[in-house]
Structure 1
Amino acid sequence: MKADVKNLGDIILFVDKFYEKVQYDELIGPVFAGVIQNWTPHLEQMYRFWNAALFGVPGFRGNPFAKHAPLAIEEKHFERWLILFTETIDEDFEGEIATAAKNRAGLMAEMFLRRLRGMNGDPAKVIV
């Protein structure tokens, strides 16, 4: 039986494994490669994000949607992102928090897609 996600160390494990997959993925890898030259700050931000999202630990600041809105991403990119994320969680974890992580990832993808569609390709719309 696999353990549940318990702490920041577990978050670091799944974030690092996930983004390694992302970097080598033929569909979403190029999207990230076009905007991230140094992965360390991005990974550190993701550790803070997931620590806040899963355990309520303060420290995350940012607007994830604003960072993603200018990218050339579509539904197929979010689908791949979710497949890789779920696969990564399932490799090492199971339990309430692992399930919550997968559910939050799904909700984020859905919200991002809905907001991107609402922009209707208009770069002049304000992103808040």
Structure 2
Amino acid sequence: MNDIQDITSIKLLVDEFYTRVRLDGLLGPVFAEVIKNDWQPHLDKMYAFWNAALFGVAGFRGNPFAKHAPLPINDEHFNRWLELFTQTVDTHFAGPMADDAKNRAGLMAVMFQSKLANMKGGTGKTIV
């Protein structure tokens, strides 16, 4: 099995991952509500995101957290997202870049969960 090597690898990863997401009973409906049936703009943005994250290639613009903040998502969604992402990487790739992609996805999930918890006041906090 090859490692993630370039934009072609990233497109395979992203396309396969979001195929799994669309079919997933927990994540599919959340994405369907936002994306409707126009997946290509989202896929293009994810190609650019992962190309920037893994290879430092300029081209990604956006604020991923801002897009996720208003969604009806919780820790269960992030855990499932990470599970599907890891499965997809492990199905197609092996090597340092594959490991880096899984690590970055895990860090992103933890960061998003933390930020969402803080927005909601966190444990024991009340927002007035």
TM class by shorter-chain length?
over 0.9
Structure-1 residue corresponding to 2:120 = 120
Matched, 1:95 2:85: no
RMSD: 1.1
Structure-1 residue corresponding to 2:35 = 36
Structure-1 residue corresponding to 2:124 = none
Question: 1:1-128 residue pairs with structure 2 within 5 A?
Answer: 2-37=1-36, 38-120=38-120
Amino acid at match of 1:35: V
For the residue of structure 2 that corresponds to 1:6, the secondary structure is: coil
Please give the alpha-carbon distance, in whole angstroms, between the structure 1 residues aligned to 2:31 and 2:9.
23
Identical residues among aligned pairs (%): 60
Please give the alpha-carbon distance, in whole angstroms, between the structure 2 residues aligned to 1:3 and 1:24.
26
Please give the alpha-carbon distance, in whole angstroms, between the structure 1 residues aligned to 2:39 and 2:94.
27
How many residues are treated as equivalent by the alignment? 121
Q: Unaligned stretches of 5+ in structure 1? A: none
State the 1:70 CA deviation: 0.2
- Name the TM-score, length of structure 1 as normaliser: 0.93
Please give the alpha-carbon distance, in whole angstroms, between the structure 2 residues aligned to 1:56 and 1:27.
32
Please give the alpha-carbon distance, in whole angstroms, between the structure 1 residues aligned to 2:2 and 2:32.
32
